[in-house]
Structure 1
Amino acid sequence: MTHTPEYEQTIEHTEELLRCAIATAYASADNLHGLNRDVALSVVHLLGQVKTSVDKLLAG
């Protein structure tokens, strides 16, 4: 499948947004404890899974 430059730019931008979201969620977890910290780190994990999928799209 051939992708347009616009498609590639959108995927790359999405990857950048995910990196920022992961960093934000991780930083917010630093000041939390207990269940709230667990929830914030769960968001980090879920965003990481999405980022892995986007990275696969960029590689292939």
Structure 2
Amino acid sequence: MSSHVYVAFDLGAESGRAVAGIYDGQKLELKTLHRFPNTPLRLPDALTWNVLRQYAEILQGIALAV
């Protein structure tokens, strides 16, 4: 039986990570593929998540999974 790979992303206040779950039909193995800082974007009147940077990091995590 072939293995299936599933990718999940954990976006926290200070960091993010991409994790692959490899399932071979009997067991599930988790492997951290990519970790990255979640540095906020400072605007004149607010502090917000930098979604463009997060998007780029998510794409990098996907690239590492395939």
After TM superposition, the score normalised by the length of structure 2 is 0.35
After TM superposition, the score normalised by the length of structure 1 is 0.37
Higher helix share: 1
Higher strand share: 2
Higher Cα Rg: structure 1 or 2?
2
- Choose between structure 1 and 2 for higher RCO, CA contacts under 8 A separated by at least 6 residues: 1
